[in-house]
Chain A
Amino acid sequence: MIFFYFLCIGSFIFLPNKTRVMKAVMHFSVVFLVYIIVFSSLAVQAEDFVWETYQGATQWSVSVTEDESGCGGGKKVHSIALQLQHNQKSVGVGNWGHGPTKGTFSGNTLSIPERTIPDSGGTSKLYAFNVEFTPDCSGFAGAYRWDYRGQGQSCSGSTSLRATRTDGNGCPEEKEQKTEVNVVREGLDRLLRLNKEIQDLDRKIALLGEEESSSLRAELYSNLKRKGDQFDILRPKIEDNYRKILNKDPDNFWANWDIAELEKSRGNYKAYFDHFDRAVTNERTESVSKVLKKKAAEDLGLSEFPTIVGSPSVRKISDDMNSRQGVSVYDVNVDVPKEPSKWEKFKIKVWTAIAPEFHNAVNELVGVQQK
Chain B
Amino acid sequence: MRTQKQRSYCRWLLAAGLLFVMFVAGCASPSQQPSQAVQTTLARCADKDCFISAANDCQEINVTLNEDVGVFKYSSSKDCVFTKTLVSPNENETPEMKKLLSGKSFVCAYKKGAFDGQWVTSLVVGIEYCEGELKDILGKLILFA
Task: Out of A306, A348, A351, name the residue touching B94 (CB < 8 Å).
Answer: A306
Instruction: Find out whether the CB atom of A317 lies under 8 angstroms from the CB atom of B128.
Output: no
Nearest Cβ on chain B to A202's Cβ, whole angstroms: 16
Contact between chains at A329 and B68 (CB < 8 Å): no
In Å, the complex CA distance between A200 and B126 comes to 23
A296 to chain B, nearest CB (A): 4
Measured CA separation A300–B128 after assembly (Å): 19
- Report yes or no: A351 in contact with B139, Cβ–Cβ below 8 A: yes
Distance between Cα atoms of A289 and B144 in the complex (Å): 10
Assess the B139–A312 pair: CB atoms within 8 A. no
Residues of B within 8 A of A308 (CB): 144-145
Pair count A-B, CB < 8 A: 100
Report the minimal beta-carbon distance from A322 to chain B, rounded to whole angstroms: 9
- Among A289, A293, A317, A328, chain B packs the most CB atoms within 10 A around the CB of A317
- In angstroms, how far is the closest chain B Cβ from the Cβ of A253? 19
The answer to whether B141 and A314 touch across the interface, beta carbons within 8 angstroms, is yes
Q: Indicate whether A214 reaches chain B with its CB closer than 8 angstroms.
A: no
Is A6 close to B, CB under 8 A?
no
- Bound CA span A351–B140, Å: 7
CB closest residue in chain A, given B136: A355
Whether B140 pairs with A296 at a CB distance below 8 angstroms is: yes
A36 within 8 Å of B by Cβ? no
A27 within 8 A of B: no
Q: Which of B93, B101, B126, B143 contacts A296 (CB 8 A)?
A: B143
| Chain B contact surface mostly | helix
- Are B93 and A312 interface neighbours, CB within 8 A? yes
Chain B contacts of A169 at CB under 8 A?
none
Most chain B beta-carbon neighbours within 10 Å: one of A306, A313, A353: A313
Cβ-defined contact, A300 with B143, below 8 A: no
Cα-based distance from A233 to B93 in the complex (angstroms): 51
Interface residues of A in 290-343 (CB under 8 A from B): 292-293, 296, 299-303, 305-308, 310-318, 320-321, 324, 327-330
- CB pair B125–A320 under 8 Å, yes or no, is yes
A71 interface contact, C-beta 8 A: no
Main secondary structure of the interface of A (DSSP, over half): helix
Interface residues contributed by chain B, number (CB under 8 Å): 31
Contacts of B138 in A (CB 8 A): 313, 317
User: How many Å lie between the Cα of A181 and that of B90 in the bound state?
Assistant: 46
Chain B min CB distance to A146 (Å):
44
At the interface, yes or no: B96 with Cβ under 8 Å from chain A? yes
Closest-by-CB residue of B relative to A351 is: B142
Within 8 A of B (CB), among A10-58: none
Give the interface residue-count category, chain A.
35 or more
- The docked-state distance in angstroms from the alpha carbon of A340 to that of B89 is 29
> CB distance A314 to B145 under 8 Å?
yes
Name the A residues within 8 Å of B128 (CB-CB): 329-330, 353-354
Other-chain contact of B100, A289, A292, A301, A317 (Cβ < 8 Å): A301
A354 touches B96 (CB 8 A): no
Q: Is the CB of B143 within 8 A of A292?
A: yes
B41 within 8 A of A: no
Residues of A within 8 A of B136 (CB): 355
Q: Which residues of A contact B63 (CB under 8 A)?
A: none
- Please tell me if A284 contacts chain B, counting CB pairs below 8 Å: no
A365 near B: Cβ within 8 Å? no
B97 CB–A CB distance under 8 Å:
yes
The B89-110 residues at the A interface (CB cut-off 8 A) are: 89-90, 92-94, 96-97, 99-101
Asked if A293 and B144 sit within 8 Å, CB to CB, the answer is yes
Does A347 have its Cβ within 8 Å of any Cβ on chain B? yes
- Taken together as a complex, chains A and B put the C-alpha atoms of A353 and B124 apart, in Å, by 12
| Additional A-B contacts beyond A300-B141, A350-B142 (15; CB < 8 A) | A289-B143, A292-B143, A300-B140, A305-B144, A306-B141, A307-B144, A312-B93, A313-B93, A313-B101, A313-B141, A317-B141, A320-B122, A321-B145, A351-B142, A354-B142
8 CB < 8 A contacts A-B: A300-B137, A301-B100, A302-B100, A311-B93, A312-B90, A313-B90, A320-B122, A355-B140
- Chain B interface (Cβ within 8 Å of chain A)? 68-70, 89-90, 92-94, 96-97, 99-101, 122-128, 135-145
Which are the 6 A-B pairs with shortest beta-carbon distances? A318-B145, A296-B140, A312-B90, A317-B145, A354-B139, A351-B142
